């Protein structure tokens, strides 16, 4: 999940690489480094910490080199240190490599290299790979990389630079994303298009087992087995402006305020209010095939998992299809029971999540159709699934996902809507649902209008160390998502339960120093939730309630109340998540956390 950027062309590479790194820093920020060929000699600079610290270390240095590569790291093998930072250089000092992924058999490879007298300076698997390539190098760099990669087990996205080849970069991938950017007399390589979209929108995605050779005006793709690959470039649909903060203090806050537009983008052209229909052409299913689905399994991780849990509620409520949500990281090890009537959805913002991709492949291996719910066009899961839904949320830079969550639950609702109308949902119910969907983004905007109130309340809660989040029905996964956001960016302990489960054990934790966030919209659970709040109050627990506008009676029961507009009962998750995202953000800001780059985390988990 590290950030990779490489450039070969006619312009000085240094600033292009550093700017690309800054746009990739959400993928890892333990350390950073850069390598260029300056006057024909390999020159490397790296540093622990953020990219700004690397820039400070470079000072007034301005290399003239028009070829180079850079890396920002999320540590896997070896703690963050200058020695473990990338790029790694081989024992000859002429070959450098940057790497995202994990080489699983690096220990045995290292022992073989050590027997040949090669000494190692770091704890990383990457230094083993660069020395393995060096050991196999006899003048043809691409062949050396190919032969080395045949010997490794694991995942990798790599870029290689060698003094003997001053106008060439070699890159390869297996399980870790690599994308080529094609310019006019210049070419780029990166782990994410964000790093190079300021320079080119023409991109080519490498597939697993492929290697590319880049020169200033040309590129060539082959397989590791040396078969030629021909692939047309695709165009990035969004602009660099969308990947900038645009005046917001943090990307996360910007992306929370983009949630209404995220829902609009996910729905655009897919809802037909006059007929009470939803239409998702990308599912690649006939109506008969949709009617034949008897069970749905959703595979996902993290926030996407909680979106899938909301999706389970929608699919069972509207489409009446039994649905299960599985952690993708566990799915392929559990020998899942799948048959010809099972449909699997793989959910991932990046489309590169390693666990989800592996689970997708396991389901397909068993002959099951897998559909993706993805944000990033052209990503690996998007390419390997049998169809699916792009949520079109645009670039999401904040490590803690927010607007993509809205896009994902919108996709699930539309899927449930489309399947439901083919089964038990009447046209009138469909028209009612469609009409509410059209106005729901405006209601999200109304929920965001309470942002200053959330900010005020957050100051009172930032001093607590532990939190409960409670919700019922589809608002239980919203409680899970709210608790996850607080953990991710504020580092405070928080856990979520179905509201009624609180009295089956967790209530033992309640006291005046353990506040509870309760989701209490005006739905069928309303009175039961009030009873549960009374149980917390009886034990001196502090309560923050999220409820529907107009229900001011909650102010008699709760210490603080946040309001959301009224909607159809099943749709409250689109609104109740808004104050919880804002609360997590404001608490983290009050605690002076690095909101966009929380410790130990990175945006896209591309290693298992």
Tens digit of pLDDT for each residue in 195-228? 998 999 999 999 999 999 999 999 999 999 999 9
The dihedrals phi and psi of 299, each to the nearest 5 degrees, come to -120, 130
Residue 379 binned pLDDT confidence (cut-offs 50, 70, 90): confident
Catalytic residue among 2, 46, 403, 443: 2
pLDDT at 550 over 80: yes
Shared-domain flag, residues 461 and 345 = no
Shared-domain flag, residues 223 and 279 = no
Shared-domain flag, residues 440 and 514 = no
Distance CA 301, CA 354 (A): 10
State which of 422, 447, 472 marks the end of a domain.
Answer: 447
Residue 78 binned pLDDT confidence (cut-offs 50, 70, 90): low
Choice between 536 and 564, residue whose per-residue pLDDT is larger:
564
- Determine the average pLDDT of the residues in 108-112: 95
Residue 63 binned pLDDT confidence (cut-offs 50, 70, 90): very high
Shared-domain flag, residues 372 and 411 = yes
pLDDT given at position 530: 87
pLDDT at 137 over 80: yes
Question: Is residue 456 a part of any domain in this protein?
Answer: yes
Shared-domain flag, residues 372 and 497 = no
Shared-domain flag, residues 38 and 155 = yes
The rounded percent of the chain whose pLDDT value lies above 90 is 74
Question: Is residue 605 a part of any domain in this protein?
Answer: no
Residue 604 binned pLDDT confidence (cut-offs 50, 70, 90): low
pLDDT at 25 over 90: no
Residue 538 binned pLDDT confidence (cut-offs 50, 70, 90): confident
Question: Is residue 603 a part of any domain in this protein?
Answer: no
Question: Is residue 604 a part of any domain in this protein?
Answer: no
Question: Is residue 135 a part of any domain in this protein?
Answer: yes
Shared-domain flag, residues 556 and 593 = yes
Shared-domain flag, residues 250 and 140 = no
Shared-domain flag, residues 218 and 318 = no
Domain range enclosing 9: 3-236
In the predicted model, what is the mean pLDDT of the chain?
A: 92
Question: Is residue 274 a part of any domain in this protein?
Answer: yes
482 beta partners: none
pLDDT at 29 over 80: no
pLDDT at 238 over 70: no
pLDDT given at position 452: 96
Question: Is residue 607 a part of any domain in this protein?
Answer: no
- Sequence-ordered list of residues with C-beta below 8 angstroms from that of 501, at least 6 positions apart, any chain: none
The rounded percent of the chain whose pLDDT value lies above 70 is 97
- Sequence-ordered list of residues with C-beta below 8 angstroms from that of 569, at least 6 positions apart, any chain: 521, 523, 524
- Determine the average pLDDT of the residues in 430-435: 97
State which of 189, 219, 236 marks the end of a domain.
Answer: 236
- Determine the average pLDDT of the residues in 601-608: 64
Distance CA 158, CA 97 (A): 7
Distance CA 26, CA 602 (A): 6
The dihedrals phi and psi of 273, each to the nearest 5 degrees, come to -60, -40
* Spatial contact of 229 and 221, defined as CB atoms under 8 Å apart: yes
DSSP state of 375: S
Exposure string over 148-175, b if 16+ CB within 10 A, otherwise e: bbeebebbbbbbbbbeebbebbbbbbbb
**For the domain that residue 41 is a member of, what is the CATH number?**
3.60.20.10
Tokens representing residue 182 in the block: 């094609």
* Spatial contact of 140 and 95, defined as CB atoms under 8 Å apart: no
Residue 83 binned pLDDT confidence (cut-offs 50, 70, 90): confident
Exposed (0-12), middle (13-18) or buried (19+): which is 42, by Cβ within 10 Å?
Answer: buried
Number of folded domains that form the chain: 3
State which of 432, 447, 462 marks the end of a domain.
Answer: 447
pLDDT given at position 77: 64
pLDDT at 162 over 80: yes
Shared-domain flag, residues 397 and 453 = no
DSSP state of 316: I
Neighbours of 294 (CB within 10 A): 12
Query: Is 2 noted as a catalytic residue in this protein?
Result: yes
Shared-domain flag, residues 459 and 440 = no
Helices and strands in the chain, H and E counts = 18, 27
**CA dihedral in degrees (60, 595, 549, 533; nearest 10)?**
-170
**For the domain that residue 289 is a member of, what is the CATH number?**
3.40.50.10490
Question: Is residue 351 a part of any domain in this protein?
Answer: yes
pLDDT given at position 355: 92
Shared-domain flag, residues 486 and 574 = yes
Query: Is 301 noted as a catalytic residue in this protein?
Result: no
pLDDT given at position 540: 84
pLDDT given at position 603: 64
Look up the pTM and report it: 0.83
């Amino acid at each position: 999940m590290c950030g990779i950027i490489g450039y070969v062309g006619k312009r000085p590479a240094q600033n292009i690489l550093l700017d690309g790194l800054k746009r990739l820093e959400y993928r890892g920020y333990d350390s950073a480094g850069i390598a260029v060929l300056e006057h024909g000699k390999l020159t490397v600079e790296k540093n622990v910490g953020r990219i700004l610290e690397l820039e400070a270390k470079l000072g007034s240095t301005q290399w003239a080199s028009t070829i180079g590569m850079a890396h920002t790291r999320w540590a896997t093998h070896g703690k963050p240190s200058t020695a473990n930072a990338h790029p790694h250089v081989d024992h000859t000092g002429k070959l450098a490599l940057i790497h995202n992924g994990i080489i699983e058999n690096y220990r045995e490879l290292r022992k073989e290299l050590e027997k040949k007298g090669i000494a190692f300076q770091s704890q990383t698997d990457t230094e083993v790979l660069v020395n393995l390539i060096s050991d196999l190098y006899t003048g043809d760099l691409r062949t050396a990389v190919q032969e080395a990669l045949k010997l490794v087990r694991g995942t990798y996205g790599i870029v290689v630079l060698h003094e003997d080849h001053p106008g060439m970069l070699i890159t390869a991938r297996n399980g870790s994303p690599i994308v080529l950017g094609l310019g006019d007399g210049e070419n780029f390589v990166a782990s994410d298009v964000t790093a190079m979209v300021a320079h080119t929108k023409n991109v080519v995605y490498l597939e697993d087992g492929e290697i590319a050779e880049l020169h200033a005006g040309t590129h060539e793709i082959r397989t590791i087995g040396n078969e030629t690959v021909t692939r047309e470039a695709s165009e990035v649909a969004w602009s660099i402006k969308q990947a900038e903060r645009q005046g917001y203090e943090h990307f996360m806050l910007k992306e929370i305020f983009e949630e209404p537009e995220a829902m609009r983008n996910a729905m655009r052209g897919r809802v037909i209010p006059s007929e009470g229909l939803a239409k998702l052409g990308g599912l690649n299913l006939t109506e008969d095939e949709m009617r034949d689905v008897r069970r749905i399994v959703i595979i996902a991780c993290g926030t996407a998992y909680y979106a899938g849990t909301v999706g389970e509620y929608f699919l069972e409520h509207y489409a009446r299809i039994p649905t299960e949500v599985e952690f993708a990281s566990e799915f392929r090890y559990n020998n899942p029971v799948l048959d010809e009537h099972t449909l699997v959805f793989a959910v991932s913002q990046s489309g590169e999540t390693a666990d989800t991709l592996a689970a997708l492949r396991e389901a397909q291996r068993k002959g099951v159709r897998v559909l993706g719910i993805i944000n990033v066009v052209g990503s690996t899961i998007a390419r390997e699934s049998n169809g699916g839904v792009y949520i079109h949320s645009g670039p999401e830079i904040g490590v803690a996902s927010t607007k993509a969550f809205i896009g994902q639950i919108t996709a699930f609702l539309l899927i449930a809507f489309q399947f439901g109308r083919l089964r038990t949902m009447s046209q009138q119910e469909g028209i009612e649902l469609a009409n509410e969907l059209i106005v729901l983004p405006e209601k999200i905007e109304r929920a965001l209008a309470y942002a200053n109130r959330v900010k005020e309340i957050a100051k009172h809660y930032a001093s607590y160390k532990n939190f409960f989040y409670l919700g019922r029905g589809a608002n239980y996964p919203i409680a899970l998502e709210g608790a996850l956001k607080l953990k991710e960016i504020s580092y405070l302990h928080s856990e979520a339960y179905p509201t009624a489960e609180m009295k089956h054990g967790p209530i033992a934790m309640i006291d005046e120093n353990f506040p509870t966030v309760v989701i209490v919209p005006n739905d069928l659970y309303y009175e039961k939730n009030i009873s549960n709040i009374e149980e917390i109050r009886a034990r001196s627990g502090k309560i923050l309630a999220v409820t529907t506008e107009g229900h001011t009676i909650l102010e008699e029961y709760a210490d603080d109340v946040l309001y959301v507009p009224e909607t159809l009962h099943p749709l409250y998750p689109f609104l109740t998540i808004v104050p919880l995202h804002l609360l997590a953000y404001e608490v983290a800001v009050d605690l002076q956390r690095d909101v966009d780059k929380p410790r130990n985390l990175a945006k896209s988990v591309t290693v298992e």
